[in-house]
Each structure stands twice: as C-alpha cells, then as structure tokens.
A and B are shown apart, each in its own frame.
Chain A
Amino acid sequence: MNVINFVSAFFSESAHWQGYDGIPTRVWEHVQYSLEALALAAVIGLPIGLVTGHYGRGGNVLSLVATAGRALPTFGLLVVTTIVLGFGMLPVMIPLVVLAVPPILVTTYEAVRSVDPSPVDAARGMGMGESGVLLRVELPVALPMIFGGLRSAAIQIVSTATIAAYVSLGGLGRYIVDGLYQHDYEKVVGGATLVAGMALATLAVFWAAAKVTVSPGVRRSN
C-alpha cells in the first residue's frame, strides 16, 4: 500500500508539474535521450543486420559481438566513459547505444535469414538485383521481427536512460537519483512509475507502427 500512497502523493503535488524539474520537462528530456540513442543504435545495427542476414554470413561473429555488448555492464560503462570523456551527452549515449545495438543486430539478422527462400528465388529469377531482393522482398517480410528487435532495444533504452541522471544530466532518472539522496521515496516511486509508463507507451507505439507499415499479406501469413 505504501507504494500506491507514494505514487498518488507524487502526482497530486502541483509543484511536480512545473518548472525545470517538472514532470513535462523531465519526460521530454527522457524522450529526447531515448530517441537519440535508439536512432544511433538503429543506424549501426539495421544495415549490418540486413546485409549479413541477406548473405547469411558472419552469424557467429555477430552473436559474439552481441554477447560481448550485452556482457558490458551498462552502469560501469557509464562511469568509465564519464571518467574518460568528462561529463556530457556523449558519455551517456555510448553505454545506451552499446546496450541497444545487440538486440537490433541479432534480431534483424535472424529475421532476414528466416525469410522463406522461394519468393527470394522468384524475385532473382525475375531479374531483380541483390539490393532489390533485400529491400523489396526480404525487408518487408522480415519487418515484423525487425520491429520486435527495435522494440526490445527501445524498452531497454527507456528504462536505462535513467542512468543519465547519475552523471548530472536530466531525464526521469533525476527523480530516482535525487529522491535516493534526499531519502524522498515518494519522488523515487513517482519517477519509477513514470519510466514504467513510458516503457508501456513505447510498446504501444511499436504496436501501432507495425500495424501501419507491415504489409497486410505478410501479416496474414504470420
């Protein structure tokens, strides 16, 4: 019951809704960090996953890289990047991207690899080039699974972007870190609720995006 009291107290406090430490500001900061990290991770992970999946090579190297990326403790990495690079946005982005690339990379690779070979052969037989096969046959079919990878990456980023607060940046982690030092549990629980809510919103966004972009034919066969 404690937790529920904390949550209602946190959200009914009007001071929490305005100013530089208000909920809208912190939410917006969190969204920015998350989008930036996800975009960077997608720019790295998607092309490599698509190409390696298309040629079906390098799967072992890929899973090795993914395990290594996963094995690096995100929080420890943050402290190290801060020591090396000082405070700022870059030292926060590096751990978040390292966290998000493995799921995108591995799922994209697996998604492209598991595309049914008969339409791929048919497209080749009709004279489609390699890039055409990849972008116009394999990509649309693999899209639902690729979205799955992006979604897990996004959820992990959203809940981990809280560490930005540890190196004095903003975002929803501020409530958690500040609350911890001030022994203000109401704040901590409120921040955690906001993060969990944002993760659920992320799920919803990906569900909607998949609805819009996945071709109806692909959806039916799944």
Chain B
Amino acid sequence: MNRFFDIPSDLQHDWLGLIGLHLREALLPVLGGLLLALPLAQLCVRLRWLYPPVLWVTTVLYAIPSLAFFVVLIDYTGQTELTVMIPLTIYSLVVLVPAIVDGVRSVPQETLAAATAMGFGPVRRYVLVQLPIAVPAIIAGLRVATVSSISLVSVGMLIGNQGALGNLLHDAQIYNRPELAWNSVITSAALAVLADALLVVVRILLTPWMPSGARVEKSKPAGVRPEPAVPALEDAAR
C-alpha cells in the first residue's frame, strides 16, 4: 500500500501535487469553455441561422482525436500545459454550446412575456430570467464537460509529460510498477466522480425551486421530454 502513493521523483510532485496539477489542467479549460460558450450560445439563440453551422464546426473539431490535437499544437505552443488545455477548452465548448442553447430555448414563451411585461429589458431578462431557468441544462452540460476533461488530461502524458496524473502511466511502464497505473486510473476516476457530485450540489443550491434529482425522475409527468439537453450532451464523453 505504501508503494501505491510512493511517486517517483522524476514527476517532481507528490500525489497531492499531481492531483492539484490534474485539476488545474482539467478545470481551467472547462471554465474557459463556459466563458466562451455563454456569449456564443446567446448569439446562436438570437440568430437562428447561426446555430447549425456552429454545431457543424464544433462537431468536426470534436472529431479530432485529442492526441492529434496536442501534437499539432506543439508547433505553436510547445510542450506545455497550454497545449493540453486548448483542445480541452474546445471539446468542452462542443458540449456547452448546445446545452446552453437548449436550456435558454426551453424557457416558456409566457415566462418571457411576463418578464417583458414587468418592464425587464433584454439584458436584464436574459440574466435574471433566462439564465436561471437554463441552469439545470447548463449544469448538465458542465457535468459531462468536466468529467471528460478530467479523464482526457492523462493523454497529455504522451507529449512530454504534461498529463499530470497521466504521467504515472508512463512511470508505471518504465519502472515496471503497475500499481502506479492503477493509482493514476483510480485517482482520476475518483476526481471525476467527486467533481460530478459537486456540480449536482451546485445545481441544487442554484435552483432551490426545483425538486431534487431523485424526485424529478418519479414525479415527472409521463410524456414530458427528459432533461432538455440529454441527447445533445451524450456526444461528449471521450
């Protein structure tokens, strides 16, 4: 068991240090993706014709394997963390844009009309009415983006040890210590599950008017569409 957490010194981090590095490399891209996706999605909601081409471009970018993406970027950004984070940002954009667009579009017309009647301008209406109602869909998107981002960082190992916990995979092979590979897989899976659970908690805190997850499932009237973004989101887990 001791050897399980005994990280070889060439990684220049202990186990907790690797976890911190991993979270930074995985979560900053999701944050960046969210900051880019919010205005982009708003544009897509405003200009309907823009949505299909945006979806097409992001789908094509999403189809590029992460490893290839990293290698192409090395030419421009070198073997740095940035090289890992740029593709992850783009991947999370692919999940988040449809999630936000679906969420914002799912706001009922009457609700919008009521807000307008109460004297809300377009900006105030967007921030105070549309975004809060879209929160469950946005969080659903963030959950998928976060989990896949955390599990993708490991591939960064292949481009000059930029994979945080993934670097353990390389050391497992060169030092012939399989427990390091197990450590890498188990730790990053645990991080992903924890981050996922944390986002569920955030959703419950942000939407106090909604019944919590389990009850939605049972009290949902038959025939109503499931969570707005489920089909779109499933595109996202590499």
Q: Are A and B physically bound partners?
A: yes
Residues on A facing B (Cβ under 8 Å): 2-3, 59-60, 67-68, 70-77, 79-80, 83-84, 99, 102-103, 106-107, 110, 113-114, 116-117, 145, 148-149, 152, 155-156, 158-160, 162-163, 166, 173, 176-177, 179-180, 185, 188-189, 191-192, 195-196, 199-200, 203
Are B67 and A80 in contact (CB-based, < 8 A)?
no
Given A152-B235, A188-B72, A68 contacting B64 (CB threshold 8 A):
no
Are B178 and A173 in contact (CB-based, < 8 A)?
no
Given A79-B169, A176-B68, A180-B158, A114 contacting B63 (CB threshold 8 A):
no
Given A60-B217, A113-B226, A152 contacting B234 (CB threshold 8 A):
yes
Bound state CA distance, A60 and B237, in angstroms? 19
Given A72-B189, A160-B238, A196-B64, A79 contacting B196 (CB threshold 8 A):
no
B60 to chain A, nearest CB (A): 6
B223 contact from A72, A99, A114, A149, Cβ within 8 A: A114
Bound state CA distance, A200 and B152, in angstroms? 21
Instruction: Assess whether B181 is interfacial by the CB under 8 Å rule.
Output: yes
What residue in chain B is nearest A181 (Cβ atoms)? B158
Are B230 and A106 in contact (CB-based, < 8 A)?
yes
A144 to chain B, nearest CB (A): 9
B61 to chain A, nearest CB (A): 8
B65 contact from A79, A80, A176, Cβ within 8 A: A176
What residue in chain A is nearest B238 (Cβ atoms)? A156
Are A145 and B159 in contact (CB-based, < 8 A)?
no
Given A148-B231, A160-B238, A3 contacting B166 (CB threshold 8 A):
no
Given A71-B196, A73-B185, A192-B64, A83 contacting B155 (CB threshold 8 A):
no
Are A70 and B65 in contact (CB-based, < 8 A)?
no
Give the residues in chain B near A75, CB-CB below 8 Å: 151-152, 154-155, 157, 166, 169
Are A173 and B75 in contact (CB-based, < 8 A)?
no
Are A189 and B72 in contact (CB-based, < 8 A)?
yes
Are B154 and A99 in contact (CB-based, < 8 A)?
no
Give the residues in chain A near B60, CB-CB below 8 Å: 196, 199-200
- 9 residue pairs, one from A and one from B, having the closest CB atoms: A192-B68, A199-B63, A71-B192, A73-B151, A76-B185, A103-B234, A152-B235, A79-B169, A71-B189
Instruction: Assess whether B47 is interfacial by the CB under 8 Å rule.
Output: no
Are B63 and A155 in contact (CB-based, < 8 A)?
yes
Instruction: Assess whether B184 is interfacial by the CB under 8 Å rule.
Output: yes
Interface residues on B, range: 35 or more
Mostly helix, strand, loop or mixed at chain A's interface?
helix
Give the residues in chain B near A113, CB-CB below 8 Å: 226
A200 to chain B, nearest CB (A): 7
Are A59 and B217 in contact (CB-based, < 8 A)?
yes
Instruction: Assess whether B225 is interfacial by the CB under 8 Å rule.
Output: yes
Mind listing 20 A-B residue pairs with CB under 8 Å?
A: A2-B75, A67-B196, A70-B151, A70-B192, A73-B166, A73-B184, A83-B178, A102-B237, A114-B224, A148-B231, A148-B234, A159-B64, A177-B158, A185-B72, A188-B68, A189-B68, A195-B63, A195-B65, A196-B64, A203-B59
Bound state CA distance, A117 and B234, in angstroms? 24
Instruction: Assess whether B150 is interfacial by the CB under 8 Å rule.
Output: yes
Instruction: Assess whether B54 is interfacial by the CB under 8 Å rule.
Output: no
Instruction: Assess whether B182 is interfacial by the CB under 8 Å rule.
Output: yes
What residue in chain A is nearest B184 (Cβ atoms)? A76
Give the residues in chain B near A84, CB-CB below 8 Å: 178
Instruction: Assess whether B1 is interfacial by the CB under 8 Å rule.
Output: no
A61 to chain B, nearest CB (A): 12
